[in-house]
Structure 1
């Protein structure tokens, strides 16, 4: 039976929440503070944490952040009262899985917990698969939509984190490198936009971009991504369908003056953040390697 840890500084509300959990057919324990919750988690198996949002000393937001750092696989569901909407939104952005107004506990808590537990179990299954994995390779293809780019970046970051190839700070650096490389493939590769046009700051770069995504041959071009990962490293290859360029003309990343230029700054960050970067002879394909530290 799944275990739900209830956290609430109010004895009455704590008792009500425990009753709702048990009515849903789940086991439960209860503590009166965020600190007690962290101590309990250090010594017991818990499947879901159900916490009040407004508590003294360590509130629900702080508890979410603490659990995210030390017990990231345990989902947290918030119990909110009137006037706590802003901090509830912050907690959701910090990693809480869901929230419920206290007035709706009796009617909605059971289904909410069952949904969360199902999702959590699915994530645990994925983690088990990653632990068994020795190597994986996948391919992706997209057009010009920035949402598609961001979804792919999020997926690749999640894969790296699940395989324990990078910590939170490293994931940010990898995400920056991926953003720059994918943006270069779209804007400078497929759309053939001059990077120095960005420095004009007169809107001409954006105007030409919006024009070319509706014109041939630009609108038909795609970006192709190959992602290969094992326990030691990840290799990401990004190819566009543009005419390519001469990689030898890239800015020198050791020259401080190049850091101030809009053109080429992305490539400097890619070369700085990734362990190895190379191009094909045609100049329309970049391969970036990240190695586990």
Structure 2
């Protein structure tokens, strides 16, 4: 049964929406009138969010961003008034799926919501299918381009969410809804995994392939990034690549065969659930030569800070002998025992 969340501070407007949609089959309408009630409603994500563009304590773009961050498969439809063009455009850029002018609610709202129901149902089906992954392995050959770092991190985080945050055991796969108790990585873990991978990729692109010294960033940050843009267009820097291997398994060692065997799936999570490998084509370096980033005098310096975060957030972070490749390993907790 599709659930529609109506976010509007005016009770009369919420009631108007409910009246216009009352005859839609099997649609449940829920309401939120302010920021707190809206965020609370996202704890049990609806199928569609229909929101006013202006609320007393949160604006339309912020509503969209919150939905995209917490439940990215939920489409957001804006209700807008004339004269709010800039705000509407900002909300659409933030990820809103559609909009309806308030003056046209009677003629357009029902059709728009019906379209979004189709989208939402299909997205949920795709999400359920994605969460049936037992193991994922991606190999990427990336250019020396800082703009590719963000999309790569988002891909890795999505793999973790699909594979390492799943129902506790294969029994849940036969049910229409997922078990409320999950295994795998907590939200904090997933955030830290993303940060660690981003730092590893940043090191590979800037320090490895572009051969930039982070000490320069401490003294002249503008020059550091200007030189990065220049080198990205010049040989040999522009011809270098970054090799990425992203491997995530529901349980057991993600790089061993048989991770999707039923006997393996029935066991509690054990061993590394995640292994990332990042290799650049630079000259490499000696990790032992870095100054201690935990020293108070070095803590706020860019030099070595990224490696400190990587080593702190991952269970293992090991370089090859040349120093141009790093392997990151993270173990998921089991039985809902996440921090």
Query: Would the TM-score normalized by the shorter structure come out above 0.5?
Result: yes
Query: 2:205 pairs with 171, 186, 197, which one?
Result: 186
Larger relative contact order, structure 1 or 2 (CA cutoff 8 Å, min sep 6): 2
Contact 1:6 1:28 in 2 (8 A): no
Contact 1:34 1:60 in 2 (8 A): no
Contact 1:6 1:51 in 2 (8 A): yes
Contact 1:181 1:266 in 2 (8 A): yes
Paired residue secondary structure (1:160): helix
Q: Tell me if 1:174 matches 2:214.
A: no
1:137 is matched with 137
Change (3 A) 1:221 1:67: closer
What runs of 5+ residues in structure 1 fail to find an aligned partner? none
Q: CA deviation at 1:195?
A: 2.5
Q: Tell me if 1:217 matches 2:236.
A: yes
Farther off after superposition, 249-258 or 225-234: 249-258
Contact 2:146 2:205 in 1 (8 A): no
Q: Counting helix residues as a fraction of each chain, which structure ranks higher? A: 1
Q: Tell me if 1:281 matches 2:321.
A: yes
Q: Tell me if 1:241 matches 2:241.
A: no
Change (3 A) 1:93 1:160: farther
Q: CA deviation at 1:139?
A: 1.3
What runs of 5+ residues in structure 2 fail to find an aligned partner? 166-183, 252-272, 333-337
2:178 is matched with none
CA offset digits 1:55-112 (Å, max 9, x no partner): 6899988987997899776544332335767877887798865443312334543554
Paired residue secondary structure (2:322): coil
Q: CA deviation at 1:218?
A: 1.1
Q: CA deviation at 1:220?
A: 0.5
**Scaled by the length of structure 1, what TM-score is found?**
0.76
Farther off after superposition, 167-176 or 148-157: 167-176
Contact 2:52 2:78 in 1 (8 A): yes
CA offset digits 1:206-228 (Å, max 9, x no partner): 34323322222111111111100
